[in-house]
Amino acid sequence: MSLLVTADPLVLTGGVLLLSISLLAIAYPDRFVTSRAIHNVPGPQGIPILGNVLHVIPYQGRTLEWLKYLIDTYGPLCTFTLPVYGRGILINRPEWLAHIKHHDMHWYSRGAHELAILGEFPGRKTPIVCEGAEWRLLRKAILPIFTVKTFTEHVSCAMDRVIRETRELLTDASEKGIAVDWNDLSGRITLSIFTLSSMDLDLGLIESDVGCLQQAFELCDAIAMLNRISSRRLLNPLWRWTEIFSGDRVRFKQARAYVRNLVASIVHKRKAEISEGEKGHVNDWLSELLVRIDDPAAIEDLLVVLLFAGADNTQNSFAWSLYSLMAAPQWLERLRAEAIKNKRTDGEVKYEDLSRYHVHLAVFYETIRLWPGLPKNGRLAVHEDVLPALPEHGLPATKIEKGDFVFWSDYHMMRNEMVWGPTANVFDPGRHLDELGHFVRPSAPNFAGFGAGPRFCPAAQLVAYEYVTCMAGILPYFTFSAVTYDPATGETLSAPEMVDALTPTMGGPFMVNVKQHEGMQ
């Protein structure tokens, strides 16, 4: 006792700290503190107290590569431990994913870490983040966008206009011999369609002069910045502090302020039109939303998440599709032939015509299979559960404890050769056509491109309609070829790659040469 009284306080504190660390190291010899032990599931060896922190650090900004490494090394089921997530369980079987999705929002939740990240972007009051009664209210608020009535009365008209303007732009590019960034143009097309059809708003992103593409596309740039920074936060428990030093925090705030200021101005203008009873006012989805919801924060968040979906998710399907088609010219020709065969004389594709575009739908779904809307995802178990046994694959039932975090990658799962066969990584729309050439929609659980369960993406049919209409309205008129070198420097241009983001974002430009298709001038 006398030794404790006379000991230096710093020495005493150090001794207590050392003893505490030693005890924690004994209690958690191979896993993160507070994580439960598990012995019947393979996974990388962790270190005392920190678990697999050192293992994941080299993969910062390369989450999909890390998940691929785990899948290749340990198989369809493995485990690890990390700060904020605790015990992680990585699954790579569609049957297990269907089980998780079925119980989403009941036995599984997003977890505090992901909620904090997604609450900053796209926003706390969105169907992506909310659960329970609030989720049902917000989900109901956006459903009118995805009805046949909206497709017919608003989306179809918007696409007629945007596709016509896009053809004029591409014709100008062809005549002037100017290469076009298809990735950027895809974003302009999809965002223009969304704002015109849902808000009666023309952002002026597409003009008949190809020079308009040199003008900054600030909204898309801001959303891309938010998308990528948000993704980097997922495996970084200290993001609130590390972003101060990396500069990401400032960039994030600036990008978010730009998007939210734009949304606020749109809402303010429409509210003024409604209150003043302005003649000629369009009764579109935005007007209905302002009448239905009396919560400014919810309205703002909903518009942000829908702009995100319009500017990014749909853009990705356009960009990756042409990228794949240029490497498979036989499918490009089949698309052209089908578009010419089904062409209307009174405008672009109407919604009632969609089922006639078998090849277009097959190409679209194959693109989504290879580049799904959310390449990586996860859920926190808020209830004990058991992943069902899959005896046909030699996989036993696996218990999920309350507090475990289940991870999966739609990107890797839909490229799994054990599910999709030896050509799983090959772009082959033919897998979605029957012997008569008719489109066969890929079924769950193997196909999860639009999610499943209560959070199934309501935009699935709208995105398919937009894709078919835009491709059928553009591809017959032009021939595209990849720009392989920079004419200014003579350097070879690398092929587009997917960057780490919440969505399958094509990094950088995808430059293509454009020529008017013979006979379609």
CATH number of the domain where residue 100 is located? 1.10.630.10
Question: CA-to-CA distance for 470 and 164, rounded, in angstroms?
Answer: 10
Instruction: Compute the 3-state secondary structure of the chain and give helix, strand, coil in percent, each to the nearest 5.
Output: 55, 10, 35
pLDDT in tens, 94-119: 999 999 999 999 999 999 999 999 99
State what percent of residues in the chain have pLDDT above 90.
74
Range of the domain at 196: 93-516
The reply to whether 377 falls in a domain is yes
Cα first-last separation, the chain:
97
As a whole number, mean pLDDT of residues 1-29 equals: 74
Q: Which residue has the higher pLDDT, 152 or 90?
A: 90
Whole-prediction pTM:
0.94
Q: Specify the DSSP class assigned to residue 32.
A: B
Q: Between the ranges 275-279, 303-307, 486-490, where is the mean pLDDT highest?
A: 303-307
The one-letter code for the residue type at 521 is Q
The reply to whether 68 falls in a domain is no
pLDDT of residue 6: 56
Question: CA-to-CA distance for 235 and 500, rounded, in angstroms?
Answer: 12
Residue 165: strand, helix, or coil: helix
The reply to whether 166 falls in a domain is yes
Angle, vertex CA 191, rays to CA 190 and CA 192, nearest 5: 90
Which of 222-231, 374-383, 481-490 is the least confident region? Answer: 481-490
pLDDT of residue 52: 96
Asked if 146 and 458 touch (Cβ cutoff 8 Å), the reply is yes
Nearest Cα to Cα of residue 226 among 123, 375, 370, 110: 123
The reply to whether 11 falls in a domain is no
Six-digit token string for 101 = 């999705």
SS3 labels along 88-156:
EEEECCHHHHHHHHHCECCCEECCHHHHHHHHHHHHCCCCCCCCHHHHHHHHHHHHHHHCHHHHHHHHH
The reply to whether 246 falls in a domain is yes
Question: CA-to-CA distance for 515 and 489, rounded, in angstroms?
Answer: 23
Confidence of residue 79 (pLDDT cuts 50, 70, 90): very high
Number of domains in the chain: 1
The one-letter code for the residue type at 295 is D
The reply to whether 43 falls in a domain is no
The reply to whether 64 falls in a domain is no
Question: CA-to-CA distance for 244 and 493, rounded, in angstroms?
Answer: 33
The reply to whether 322 falls in a domain is yes
Confidence of residue 476 (pLDDT cuts 50, 70, 90): very high
pLDDT in tens, 296-331: 999 999 999 989 987 787 899 999 999 999 999 999
What beta strand segments (E) does 354-482 contain? Answer: 377-381, 385-387, 398-400, 405-408, 478-482
pLDDT of residue 489: 75
Which of 16-20, 48-52, 259-263, 468-472 is the least confident region? Answer: 16-20
Asked if 403 and 496 touch (Cβ cutoff 8 Å), the reply is no
pLDDT of residue 8: 74
Please check the confidence at residue 7 and state whether its pLDDT lies above 70: no
